[in-house]
Amino acid sequence: MHFLANPARFLKIARPLTPWLGWSGALLVAVGVGVGLFVAPPDYLQGESVRIIYIHVPAAWLGMAGWTGIALASLMQLVWRHPLAGVAARAIAVPGGVFAALCLATGSLWGRPTWGTYWEWDGRLTSMLILLFLYVAYGALANADRERGGEGRATAIFGLIGAINIPVIRYSVDWWRTLHQGKSIGVAGSSIDSAMLWPLLISALGFSLLFGAIVLMRMRADLARTKIEARLRRMAA
């Protein structure tokens, strides 16, 4: 990671990597979601409504993975003073929040025919909603800190504290009696039929690559903004 601490070195890698991730991700999403919606069989219990899984599951995964990335970047910023750690954390916040919101929206649409209600205050849904609020609060704190010209220390501490919610989301279906179904994919295997599993995995990989492309684009834009602001300050001096 210290190899990428130099912004010029990072940009040299990020520029060609961004379109590769973006177009590869878009292709995989098209294949995974397309097969999931039109080719994969319906579930024997939930019927056609289960097809929303090809968007809902990747969204949930990336919502949680996004905050995990924020927490790791915050740790690097606080401990090792990595110069790009704060930039990376800020870049992750918006797409992470969007995927968390997408997870809640698709989950509500899935819950209506499955549970008979759009919303239930169970452990998984409530902790995921808290994650969305954390993303909003992180973005507001990061913007306020940047406008004050701060070092981002308070934002990084918030990023670490917020990570407490990630294991709560992960294990909520095991800790509490809940409407939300238990985990279908684990280390020991999967309870999902292979005809439904492989397009789900392709969709998840595609959305993950798109997520990476968006983060790199936002990091590059942030670095360009910083460079322009520094140049304007020198010109005004």
Mean pLDDT in order along the chain per 10 residues (237 residues): 71 95 98 94 83 95 97 94 91 98 94 86 92 97 87 93 96 78 64 85 97 97 85 72
Strand partners, 189: 186
What is the 3 state secondary structure string of the chain? CHHHCCHHHHHHHHHHHHHHHHHHHHHHHHHHHHHHHHCCCCECCCEHHHHHHHHHHHHHHHHHHHHHHHHHHHHHHHHCCCCCHHHHHHHHHHHHHHHHHHHHHHHHHHHHHHHCCCCCCCHHHHHHHHHHHHHHHHHHHHHHHHHCCCCCHHHHHHHHHHCCHHHHHHHHHHHCCCCCCCCCEECCEECCCHHHHHHHHHHHHHHHHHHHHHHHHHHHHHHHHHHHHHHHHHHHC
Q: What pLDDT, on a 0 to 100 scale, did the predictor assign at position 4?
A: 60
Q: What pLDDT, on a 0 to 100 scale, did the predictor assign at position 43?
A: 79
Distance CA 125, CA 127 (A): 6
What the chain holds in terms of domains, given with CATH numbers, is: 20-39+50-179+200-236 (1.20.120)
Q: What pLDDT, on a 0 to 100 scale, did the predictor assign at position 194?
A: 85
Q: What pLDDT, on a 0 to 100 scale, did the predictor assign at position 202?
A: 97
Q: What pLDDT, on a 0 to 100 scale, did the predictor assign at position 111?
A: 86
pTM across the whole model: 0.92
Distance CA 219, CA 85 (A): 10
Q: What pLDDT, on a 0 to 100 scale, did the predictor assign at position 97?
A: 98
Which residue, among 100, 234, 107, has the nearest Cα to 180 in the 3D structure? 107
Q: What pLDDT, on a 0 to 100 scale, did the predictor assign at position 186?
A: 60
Distance CA 62, CA 99 (A): 6
Q: What pLDDT, on a 0 to 100 scale, did the predictor assign at position 5?
A: 65
Q: Which two tokens stand for residue 41?
A: 């069989």
Longest C-alpha distance within the chain, in Å? 70
Which residue, among 34, 32, 36, 31, has the nearest Cα to 51 in the 3D structure? 36
Residue with the two structure tokens 């929206």:
105
Q: What pLDDT, on a 0 to 100 scale, did the predictor assign at position 184?
A: 67
Q: What pLDDT, on a 0 to 100 scale, did the predictor assign at position 235?
A: 77
Distance CA 135, CA 97 (A): 5
Q: What pLDDT, on a 0 to 100 scale, did the predictor assign at position 175?
A: 81
